[in-house]
Chain A
Amino acid sequence: MKFRIRKYSGYILILLREDFGMKFFLKLCCAGILALVIWEVILMNFVINTTGYSDHPILGRIAKGGISVHGIEGYSRTKLNSIGLRNSEIQSKKSDTFRILSIGDSFTQGLQVSDEETFSYLLEKELKDENNVEVINAGRPSASPAFYIHLADYNNEIFNQDYTIIQISDNDFLVDLLNTTRLFYAKEDGNSFKTVFNEGYSSNNPLLQKFPQFRDILEFSVARRGAEKFQEVLLSEATTRAASQENAINYEPVIDWVVKEMGEKYGSVVFVYLPVLDYNNISKEPSEIEKLVMNAFERHNVNFINMRDSFSDYFKKYHVPSHGFNNTIPGEGHINSTGHKLVSQKLEEFFAGRVIN
Chain B
Amino acid sequence: MIVLLFMIFVKSNKIKKLFLLIASFYFYSYWDYRFVLLLFIMILANYFIGLKIEQANTLNQLRKKWLIVSVVFNLGILAFFKYFNFFLDSANILLDNVGIRFPLFEIILPVAISFIVFEVLSYTIDIYRKTNKTPNSFLDLALLVAFFPHLIAGPILKPQHFLPQLQKEITIKWKNVERGSQIFIFGLVKKLLIADHLAMFVDPVFNNPHTYSSITIWLAVLAYAIQIYCDFSGYTDMAIGSAKILGFDIPKNFDMPYISKNITEFWRRWHISLSTWLREYLYISLGGNRKGKRRQYLNLLIVMLLGGLWHGASWNFVVWGGLHGVALIIHKLYMDYIKSREINNIVYTLMSWAFTFIFVCTAWVFFRASDFSTSLTIIQKMYFISGIEGIDWFYTSLMISIVEVIVGHYIGLKIKDYAYLKLNTFVGQFVLFFILLGLLFFAPTASSPFIYFQF
Which residues of A are interface residues toward B (Cβ below 8 A)? 24, 27-28, 30-32, 34-36, 38-39, 43, 47, 222, 225-226, 229, 232-233, 236, 279-280, 319-321, 326-327, 329-331
Contact = CB atoms under 8 A, between A and B. Distances in A.
Contact of A232 (B391, B426, B437, B445): B445
Contact of A329 (B204, B390, B394, B426): B204
A319 B390 contact: yes
Contacts of B425: 27
A344 B75 CA distance: 65
A330 B396 CA distance: 12
Nearest to A30: B426
B391 A321 contact: yes
B446 A236 contact: yes
A31 B429 contact: yes
A158 B231 CA distance: 55
Nearest to A48: B441
Contacts of A43: 441
B396 A39 contact: no
Given A38-B434, A236-B446, 9 more contacts: A34-B433, A35-B437, A222-B441, A225-B441, A229-B445, A232-B445, A327-B395, A329-B204, A330-B393
A31 to B, nearest CB: 4
Contacts of A327: 395-397
Given A31-B429, A319-B213, A327-B395, A39 B446 contact: no
Interface string B357-401: 000000000000000000000000000000001111111110000
Interface string B184-209: 00000000000000001100100010
B217 to A, nearest CB: 13
Range, interface on chain B:
20 to 34
Nearest to A234: B445
Interface of B: 200-201, 204, 208, 211, 213, 389-397, 424-426, 429-430, 432-434, 437-438, 440-441, 445-446
A27 B211 contact: no
Given A43-B441, A232-B445, A326-B393, A280 B211 contact: yes
B208 A280 contact: yes
B440 A226 contact: yes
B204 A229 contact: no
A321 B446 CA distance: 25
A35 B434 contact: yes
Contacts of B445: 229, 232-233, 236
A236 B201 CA distance: 19
Given A319-B390, A330-B393, A226 B441 contact: yes
Contacts of A329: 200-201, 204
A279 B391 contact: yes
A225 to B, nearest CB: 5
B204 A319 contact: no
Given A35-B437, A226-B441, A229-B445, A326 B395 contact: yes
B429 A27 contact: yes
Contacts of B446: 236
A32 B438 CA distance: 12
Contacts of B390: 319
A39 B394 contact: no
A233 B440 CA distance: 13
A47 B437 CA distance: 14
Contacts of A36: 433, 437
A330 B392 CA distance: 9
A35 B430 contact: yes
Contacts of A326: 393-396
A331 B445 CA distance: 20
Given A280-B211, A326-B396, A319 B391 contact: yes
A319 B211 CA distance: 8
11 contacts: A31-B432, A35-B434, A39-B437, A229-B441, A229-B445, A236-B445, A319-B389, A319-B392, A320-B391, A326-B394, A327-B396
Contacts of A321: 391
A47 B440 CA distance: 14
Nearest to A332: B204
A225 B438 CA distance: 11
Nearest to B211: A280
A261 B37 CA distance: 66
A205 to B, nearest CB: 14
A39 B430 CA distance: 12
Given A34-B430, A319-B390, A279 B211 contact: yes
Nearest to B207: A280
Contacts of B430: 31, 34-35
A21 to B, nearest CB: 12
B287 to A, nearest CB: 50
Nearest to B430: A31
A39 B395 contact: no
A236 to B, nearest CB: 7
A35 B396 CA distance: 24
B180 to A, nearest CB: 19
A311 to B, nearest CB: 13
B441 A330 contact: no
Nearest to A321: B391
A309 to B, nearest CB: 19
Nearest to A24: B424
Instruction: Name, among B394, B429, B432, the residue most crowded by chain A CB atoms within 10 Å (CB to CB).
Output: B429
Nearest to B427: A31
Contacts of B391: 279, 319-321, 330-331
A320 B208 CA distance: 15
A186 B395 CA distance: 39
A30 B434 CA distance: 12
A326 B400 CA distance: 12
Nearest to B390: A319
A35 B426 CA distance: 11
